[in-house]
């Protein structure tokens, strides 16, 4: 719904990670707010990808829910605005899941 890439699970396969890196684009992981999302966050840190923790309503489990609630543009803006590569900040925020 936001023209992003979904890895369809709680982690990217080595092939998916390679293809994503090969795109040469800024990579921002926007994990689901559940246990599976934590595994994807940990992988993102290892791969050097940014992680976004948008301040969405509690009924928004993922970006698709956020698009339905806030609209596409506002959802994308919140993902970009809340992206970080700071490992300490990522660790603290992921413990809140």
SS (H, E, C) the chain: CCCCCCCCCCCCCHHHHHHHHHCCCCCEECCCCCHHHHHHHHHHHHHCCEEECCCCCCCCCCHHHHHHHHCHHHHHHHHHHCEECCHHHHHHHHCCC
Instruction: Specify which residues 50 forms β-bridges with.
Output: 28
- The domain segmentation of the chain, as residue ranges, is 25-94
> What's the pLDDT tens digit per position in 66-79?
999 999 999 999 99
Low-confidence ranges of the chain (pLDDT < 50): none
pLDDT at residue 53, as a whole number: 96
In whole angstroms, give the CA distance from residue 47 to residue 95: 19
pLDDT at residue 49, as a whole number: 97
pLDDT at residue 26, as a whole number: 96
Instruction: Specify which residues 84 forms β-bridges with.
Output: 51
CB atoms inside a 10 Å sphere around CB 55: 8
């Amino acid at each position: 719904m936001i023209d992003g890439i979904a890895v369809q699970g709680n982690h990217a396969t080595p092939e998916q990670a390679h293809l994503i890196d090969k795109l040469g684009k800024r990579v921002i992981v926007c994990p689901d707010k559940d246990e599976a999302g934590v595994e994807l966050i940990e992988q993102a840190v290892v791969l050097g990808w940014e992680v976004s923790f948008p301040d969405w309503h509690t009924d928004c489990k993922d970006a698709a829910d956020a698009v339905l609630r806030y609209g596409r543009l506002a959802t994308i803006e919140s993902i970009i605005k809340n992206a970080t590569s700071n490992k300490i900040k990522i660790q603290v925020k992921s413990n809140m899941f």
